[in-house]
Structure 1
Amino acid sequence: MGQLTCLQTLRYFNVGLEKGRRIEELGCLKKLRGKLRINDLHLVRSREEARTAYLQEKSNIYKLSYGWLRDEPEGCETIDEHVLDGLQPHPNLKFLLVKDYLGTRFPSWFSEESLPNLVKLKLSECNRCKEIPSLGQLKFLRHLELIGFPELEFIGPTFYGVEVNDNGSCSKIQVFPSLKELILEDMCSLIEWKGVELIPTTSGVRMFPKLEKLRIANCQLLKSTPIQFEILSELVIVEVDSEMPLLNLCSNLTSLVKLSVYGVKKLTCFPDEMLRNNVSLQHLSVEKCGEFHELPKSLYNLHSLKRLWIRSCPNFSSFPVLSGENYLTSLQSLELQNCDGLTNLPSGMLEHCRSLESLSVYKCNDLVSFPLHVGEMHSLSYLGLSHCPKLICVPTSGLHRLTGLRHLEIGPFSDMVDFEAFQLIFNGIQQLSSLRTLGVWGHLHWDSLPYQLTQLSNLTDIKMYGFGIEALPHRFANLTSLERLTLVGCKRLQHMDFSDAMPKLRYLGINDCPLLEDLSDGLSNLVSLQKLVLQKCEKLEHLPSSDAMRRLTKLGYLMIHDWPLLEALSNGLGDLVSLQELFLQNCENLKHMPSRDAMRRLTKLRNLEIKGCPKLEESCTNRSGPNSQWSNISHIPIIKVGGSRIQDLA
C-alpha cells in the first residue's frame, strides 16, 4: 500500500500484521485527502508505531475515524491510550469519530490547541473510560456525541476547560461557544453532570450559548444536570429513572420547541411553570412513564402546540379542566395510547381544536366517554377511536361535518354499545365523500355489517375485524373504488362471493377465518387483483380451481400461511402467469409442489420462500434425496427454505 505514493482517496484502511497492511504504510501516502477510516487499531502496539502513519502531517484529510476491536483482553488500556496519542491528526481536521477505544482517558491533543477547526466529534463505545476529555473550548465544535461510557460516573469542570485565576475569576468565559447539538447516551453509571456552578467566578461564565438540541438516553442513574441553557429548543430524555434531570434542565428554559420524554420512571407531572415559561413549545410527547398521571393547567397556554402524544402511561388519568379562553388552537395531532387511567376527555377540549388533523385514542382501557360533538374539527384528516373496551358514550352526531376526513379507525367498544347504536355512528360517516380508508372492529355476535358501509363509494381501503358475518353482503359491489380489502377474525365467514366484480381491487387479505372452505367462486371475478394473502384458514384444503386461477392474470404476490389441511399445491398454480413472489408458511402437512411443467409456466416467478412446512422443506433443496422436488423449482432465482437462502441467482 505504501508504494501508492500518489494516492489521494482512501476511504478505509484495515490494519494488519502482514507486510503492506501495517499502520506505517499510511505514512508514505502523503497526498491523502478527504475521508479516512482506520480499523483494527488493536493490532498497533505502541505510540511510536502509531506515529509512523504521520497523520499530523496530512493537512488535506478533513474526516478521520478510528476503530478498535471491541472485545480486547484485559490490560490493553495503556496500549490503547498510547496508540491514540500517536494518532494525533493535523489541526485542519473537522470531523473525528473514535469507536471501541478501551483506554481509561483521552490524550492531551483533545484540546483547542490541537483541534482548533473541529466541527463534529463522536466518541462511541469507550467502555473503560472513566473521564471524558476537555472539550469546552473547541471554538468551532457544533456537534458532539458521547455514546457508550459505562464506567463514567461524573461530568464536571474538566469537561468545560474553564481555567480559574488566583482571584477566583475565570479567564475564559464561554463554554462550548458554537455547540448546537449534544448527545449523551448509554452511560449506565453516570450520576452527576455538573455545570460551571462548581467554579467560583465573578465574571459570569456562559455555558452552551448556542446549544439548540440536547438528547440524554439510557443514563438510568443520572440525578443532576446543569441549568444553564440559553436557547435550547429541542430536549429528548430517554430511560432516566429520576425526574430531577428533566426538571433541572427545564427550570430556567423559555425557548423549548420540542420536548420528548420516554421511560422516566419517577416523573409524575410537569410543574405548571415549566409549560407556562415555554410558550413556543410545538411538540410534546410523554411515553412509558409509569407514574405520570396528569398535565398542568398551563397546558392550555401553549398556543403554538402542534403535537401532543401521551403513550403507554398507565396512570395518566386527566387533562386539566378548561377555564377562560385558552385553547389549543394550533394543535394538529393528538395521540392517547395505552393510558388505562384515562376515563374521559374534558368537555369542550376537542371542539376548540380547530386545527386538529390527526386524533388517535387507542387502548385506553378505562375510557368511558368520548366527546359526542366532534363536528367542529373541520381540519381533521385522521380519526382513530379503537380498542377502548369500556367506552359507552361515542360520537353519533356531527360526524358528517368532518368534511376533510380521509382515514377512520373505529371500534370495538363496550358490549353495552349494541349493533343498533354502532350503526348510528355510520349515519354521519356515510355522508363523508372524502373518506378513503376505513378500519372497523365489531363483535362476533353481530351477524351483519352496518348497511351504510356499502354506500361509501369513494373508499379505496377497508379493513374489517371480528364481525360474525357468514358472507359479504352483495351490496359490497357498490364499492367500485375499493383497491384493498382485509378481513381479520371473522370466525363465522364461510363464503367469499364476488360475483359482482370489484374492478379496482388490487389487494385481498384474509386472516383467521376458520370456517372459510372454498375461494374459487370468490376470486374469479377479481381481474385486477395483484396481491393475495391467506392466513389461518383452517378449513381450506386446496387452492382455488384452475379456472379461477386462470382469471387472476395480474396476481404477482401470493402468501399461504397456516393451512393445516393443505397437502398439495395443484397444477392450477401454474396458470398465475404474472406471479413473481410465492410464500408458503406454517403449512405443516404440505408435501407436494405443483409438477415441474406447471412450475415452469411461472416464467415471472422470482422469489420462493418455504418456512414452517417440514414435510415440504425436506424435498425442496438441492441436497434432497430420491423424493426430491428440486427440479420443479430450481429455475427460480431466489429460493429460501426453512429460513436459509438455498439459491440466489438475482
Structure 2
Amino acid sequence: MPMQMSTLESLITLPAFIVGKSTRSTIGELGKLSHLRGKLSILQLRNVVDATDALQANLKDKKDLKELELEWGDEDADDSQKEKDVLEKLQPWVNLEKLTISGYGGKDFPNWLGGSSLSNIQVMCISDCSNCLSLPPVGQLPTLKELCIRRMKLVKTIGVEFYGSTGSSVIQPFQSLEKLEFEEMAEWEEWVPSGSGGSDFPRLQELSLRSCPKLRESLPCDLPCLKKLSVYGCGVLDDQRATTVTSVNMDYKSLEELKISECQTGLLSLLPETKLLSKLEIASFNDIQCLPNISRLQSLRLFKCPTLKSFPEDGLPTTLTSLVIRDCRRLKLPHEMLAKLTSLGHLVILNSCDSMRSFPLGIFPKLTSLFLLDCKNLESFSLIKEGVDENLSRLGIEVCPKLVCFPQGGLPTPNLTRLDVKGCDKLKSLPERIHTLTALRSLEIRDLPNLEPIAEDGVLPHNLRHFRIENCERLRASSVAEYWGLQRLVSLATFEISGRGSDEILETLLKQQLLPTTLQRLEISQLSSLKSLDAKGLKHLTSLSFLSISNCSALEKRYKKKTGKAWANISHIPCIKIGEEVII
C-alpha cells in the first residue's frame, strides 16, 4: 500500500487494504480513516506483527462501513494465538451488514461474532479456517439472513456452540436465517440439534450441502419454511440408519426445489409427501431403478443414473414443463408416456435411453425446444396421428450415428426457427419440404459425411438469416449451386463454411456470385486447399461488413494486412479478422 495512508483522513472509499510485511503498510494506518464507507477488504492479515496494530485500526468506530472482509492469506498460521488476538481486536461497528472471514488461523472465534455485538449483520461467510475445531456462536444474531461455511477442515461436529447457547440456557436460534450453505467440510460427521424444543431454523428457505463426505445421521428434521434443498457429495448419508431417520421424521412440506447428487436415496422417499415440489434434480445415483410417484412437478433433471430403468408407475405428471435426461442409458421412454406430457415445453435427451430407436413428433402441443444428443440407437422419427408441434421453435440433433432419415413428408414444425444437425454419420438428407418451414431463421449442418444436396423442391426457406456448413464432404458444389438457391435468400445475414468438402463449395458460390448481396458476415475456417477468394464474388457482396478467415494457412497468408498479395481485394470490408488479428 502507499506510504502514509493515515494522512488521508477524508478518504471515503477504500475497496482493499493489503497489510504489508514491512512497517510501511501496517494495519494501524487505517486508524485515522474514520470516514470510510461501503465495503472494506483487509487482506494478508497474516503479516500483522503485533495484535496491538489491529486495535489501532479502530474498526469499531467506523460507523459507515456496511461490508467487511478479513482475509489472512493462503499460508498456514505459525501462531494461532496471535491470529486470535488480531481477530479479537478487529471487532467492527455494531451495525455492519456483511462480514467475510477467510484463512483465519486461530483455534476458536472471539465472542463478538455472536449475540448483540453484530446486531445488524445480515450476511456472513466463513471459510478456510484450518485450525478451528468448531463454528462461531452465530445462532443468536437477530438479523442474520444468509450464512455460508466453507472448508472448515477440522470441524467434526456442529452442536450447541453453533446455536449460541450458553450453559443450560437454550434459546431458539437463527430467528431470521433464510439461506444456509455448507461446502467442502471434509471431516464433518455430526449435526446435533440445539435442543430448544422448536425448529432450529424456523425461517430457513434454502439449504445447501456440498462435498461433506463423512456427514452421517439425518439433516435437521423440522424446517417448516424450507423451499430449496441441495445435497451434493454427502455419500455417507446413505447408510441404513440415516435413511430410516430421514424418511420418517423429516418435515419438509414447503419444499419446492430438491437437488440431490451422490448422497442418500432415503431423500427420495420424501417425494410423495412434498406436495409443493415443482423442481427435482437427481444426479450420480448408482442404486436407483425406478422413480417414486411425484405430483405437481414442473421440472425434472436426471443426470448419471446408470441403473435407472423406469419412470413412476403412474407416469410423469402432466404438469411437467421441462425434462432433461443425461447419462441414463437404461432408462425407457415409452411413447405413450410422452404423449401425456401436454404441458412439456423443453426436452433434452443426452446419452440416454439406449432402447429408443424412434422418436415421436407431432404430440407435443406446448414443446418449444427439443434436443436429442448422443442417442446411440436412434434411427428415425415417427409421426403420431399426423399431429403438429405448433410451438416447437428449436430442434437440435447431435451425434446420433444411426439416424437415417427425418419423417416422410417433412417436419411437423411450422414455427421452427432454429435447426441444428450434427454428427449423424448415416443421415443422407435434410428434412423434406424444408422450404415450407418459413419461420426458420438459423440452420447449421455439421459433421454429416453422407449428406447429399436436397432436390429442387427442397430449396432453403427464404427467411433464413444464419446458415452454417461444416464437414459435409459429400455435398457437391454444382448441386448446391443448382438446388439450394442461396442467392434468393434475401434475409441471409451470416454464412459460415468450414471443414472437409467446403473448399469447392465456397469457390463455386463466389465465382458464380450465388451468395445474396444482403450478406453481412462471411466466416471461413479450416479450408486447407483453398488458396484464393474470387475478387468479383467478394465485390458482389455489397452489404458485407465482416469477414473472418481462420485456420486456412494459404488464405491467411494471401490476405494478411498490407503484406498479403490480395489484401487490396478485401480492404474495403469494414471489419476483417485474419487468424487472431482483428482489423477495423
TM over 0.5: yes
CA distance 1:205–1:288, change in 2 (3 Å):
same
Structure 2 counterpart of 1:260: 259
Q: Where does 1:604-623 land on structure 2 (aligned, <5 Å)?
A: 604-605=574-575, 609-610=579-580
Distance in 2 separating the partners of 1:90 and 1:218:
34
Q: Is 1:241 aligned to residue 235 of structure 2?
A: yes
CA distance 1:369–1:195, change in 2 (3 Å):
farther
CA distance 1:510–1:293, change in 2 (3 Å):
farther
- The one-letter code sitting in structure 2 at the alignment partner of 1:359 is L
Match 1:172 to one of 170, 173, 184: 170
Query: Is contact 1:448-1:467 (8 Å) kept?
Result: no
Match 1:594 to one of 564, 576, 582: 564
CA deviation map 1:316-336 (0-9, x unaligned): 22112227xxx6132111111
Structure 2 counterpart of 1:32: 36
Q: Secondary structure at the match of 1:485?
A: strand
Q: Where does 1:47-196 land on structure 2 (aligned, <5 Å)?
A: 47-72=51-76, 75-165=78-168, 171-196=169-194
Match 2:391 to one of 370, 395, 404: 404
CA distance 1:172–1:16, change in 2 (3 Å):
same
Distance in 2 separating the partners of 1:387 and 1:352:
25
Q: Secondary structure at the match of 1:500?
A: helix
State the 1:518 CA deviation.
5.0
Q: Where does 1:421-500 land on structure 2 (aligned, <5 Å)?
A: 422-424=406-408, 426-427=409-410, 429-430=411-412, 432-440=413-421, 443-465=424-446, 466-471=448-453, 473=455, 475=457, 477-495=459-477, 496-497=480-481, 500=487
- The one-letter code sitting in structure 1 at the alignment partner of 2:20 is G
* CA-atom RMSD in angstroms: 3.2
Deviates more, 1:524-533 or 1:207-216: 524-533
State the 1:447 CA deviation.
4.2
CA distance 1:352–1:407, change in 2 (3 Å):
same
| Unaligned 5+ runs, structure 2 | none
Distance in 1 separating the partners of 2:441 and 2:254:
43
Distance in 2 separating the partners of 1:138 and 1:554:
64
Distance in 1 separating the partners of 2:567 and 2:443:
38
Match 2:318 to one of 309, 326, 329: 329
Q: Is 1:217 aligned to residue 199 of structure 2?
A: no
Q: Secondary structure at the match of 1:350?
A: helix
Query: Is contact 1:405-1:434 (8 Å) kept?
Result: yes
Query: Is contact 1:289-1:312 (8 Å) kept?
Result: yes
Q: Secondary structure at the match of 1:51?
A: helix
Normalization by structure 1: what TM-score?
0.79
Distance in 1 separating the partners of 2:493 and 2:570:
25
CA deviation map 1:290-311 (0-9, x unaligned): 4443211x22xx12x1111112
Q: Where does 1:344-359 land on structure 2 (aligned, <5 Å)?
A: 344-346=332-334, 348-359=336-347
Q: Secondary structure at the match of 1:317?
A: coil
Distance in 2 separating the partners of 1:369 and 1:82:
68
CA deviation map 1:317-360 (0-9, x unaligned): 2112227xxx6132111111221111x22454222322211122
Normalization by structure 2: what TM-score?
0.87
Distance in 2 separating the partners of 1:353 and 1:569:
56
Distance in 2 separating the partners of 1:2 and 1:446:
73
Q: Secondary structure at the match of 2:112?
A: coil
Q: Percent identity?
A: 26
State the 1:552 CA deviation.
3.2
Distance in 2 separating the partners of 1:242 and 1:346:
34
Query: Is contact 1:81-1:106 (8 Å) kept?
Result: yes
State the 1:220 CA deviation.
2.2
Query: Is contact 1:332-1:358 (8 Å) kept?
Result: yes
- The one-letter code sitting in structure 1 at the alignment partner of 2:212 is C
Q: Where does 1:517-596 land on structure 2 (aligned, <5 Å)?
A: 517-523=504-510, 524=513, 525-538=515-528, 540-563=529-552, 566=554, 569-571=557-559, 594-595=564-565
Query: Is contact 1:156-1:194 (8 Å) kept?
Result: yes
Q: Is 1:505 aligned to residue 503 of structure 2?
A: no
Distance in 1 separating the partners of 2:563 and 2:386:
51
Query: Is contact 1:520-1:548 (8 Å) kept?
Result: no
State the 1:205 CA deviation.
3.7
Query: Is contact 2:69-2:101 (8 Å) kept?
Result: yes
CA deviation map 1:506-551 (0-9, x unaligned): 222334424643513324423233333444444x332321122223
Match 2:311 to one of 319, 323, 339: 319
Distance in 1 separating the partners of 2:349 and 2:427:
23
